[in-house]
Structures are given as C-alpha cells and as structure tokens.
Amino acid sequence: MKKVLMMVALALTTLTMSAQEESKFAVNAGVGFSGIAGSDADGCDNIISFKAGLSYDLGLSESFSVIPGVELVSKGYSEEAIDGDIRMTYLQIPVFAAFKLNISDDMKLAIKAGPYASYGLFGSDIEWDYGETTNVFDAFEKFDAGVIAGVSLEISDFVIGAEYSRGLTKLDSELKAYNQTYGLTFGYKF
C-alpha cells in the first residue's frame, strides 16, 4: 500500500512540476448581454451585463488546460410587467476544460467548455405592475448552476474571447426560465 501511495505522490508531483511551466494566473473582464431562456421568457429582453475576476490556467500539456476561476458576474433581464430591469449580481465559479491549438509561437486558439456554479450576492428591487416591491432574491433562487463555453485567442499574455453561458437551474420553482449570458472577454496572464 505504501508503494502505491508513493507512486501516486510521485506521479502527481511530476504532473504538477511539468504543468507549472505552462500555468499562469489571469485577470479577466468582460461585457455582453444577459437574458433568460425557456418557455416563460416571452416578453423579456436582454440587458447589458459585465463580469470581472481571476482564473488559473493549469496547463496539463501543450494543448490541454483546466481553467478554474472566480468571478463577479451580473445577470438579469428586462420585462414588460416590471417597472425597470431585473438585475442580479453573482459570485461565480467556472471550471473550463480548454483545448489549445498553436497558431504561431506566441499565439494560440483555445476552445473551452465546462460547468459553473454561482451564488447571488445582491440584486435590484422589483416593482411589480400590481404595486408590490420586493428584492429580486426574495422572488428568485440565489443559487444558479449551468454550463459555459467559449473560444479565445491568446496572444503572448493577452487573451480576447467570446463566451456563452446557460443556466440549468430554474430562476424559481414556478418560472420555467433560466439565466443566459453571452459576450466578449478580455484578460491578461501573469
């Protein structure tokens, strides 16, 4: 048993040491649109959204990385029945699996996808058309989980990309609608 544990520890150490050559932290920001998808999304429009955060590009090989991150993300939508927009700000943790293709010595194209989990920190007050006002997270679930995918171009330490995310958890138990966002991202690796 000790030999097996030592072999596993040696393999993990070797993998970590070789991965550290290609691994880097990154600062990321993005802007795009947020809305909802689903059968109850009729009459709802997209609003401008943002994201900002940190990630760690764990290069497991020259062409494959795992990229976990932590982000502050805005989501929401506009609806005719509500006076104003519904805005929600989440702490989000995405985990990408990224396949990278070398275009030149200092340029790579990355195709990435993975899950995300997010928790609602704060949101706007909703003034319903019948006169009642509530906070968005009194009406909707604070937890959101889903999938996120994108492509990015890495030029030296700079990254520009496009992403799409789709929630898999309902906004609330009665509403058949899910968060969705899409937009451009920018980053710098260090």
DSSP annotation of 23 reads: -
Q: Where are the domains of the chain?
A: 21-189
The confidence score (pLDDT) of residue 62 equals: 87
Q: Which residues of the chain have pLDDT under 50?
A: 12, 17, 19-20
CA angle 26, 32, 36 (to 5 degrees): 120
The confidence score (pLDDT) of residue 3 equals: 59
Q: Write the burial class of residue 86 (CB in 10 Å: 0-12 exposed, 13-18 middle, 19+ buried).
A: buried
CATH of 21-189, one of 3.30.70.580, 2.30.30.40, 2.20.25.10, 2.40.160.20: 2.40.160.20
User: How distant, in Å, are the alpha carbons of 70, 109, 121, 142, 159 from that of 90?
Assistant: 10, 28, 5, 8, 23
The CA distance from 92 to 57, in Å, is 17
The confidence score (pLDDT) of residue 183 equals: 97
Token pair belonging to 84:
């104003």
The confidence score (pLDDT) of residue 6 equals: 58
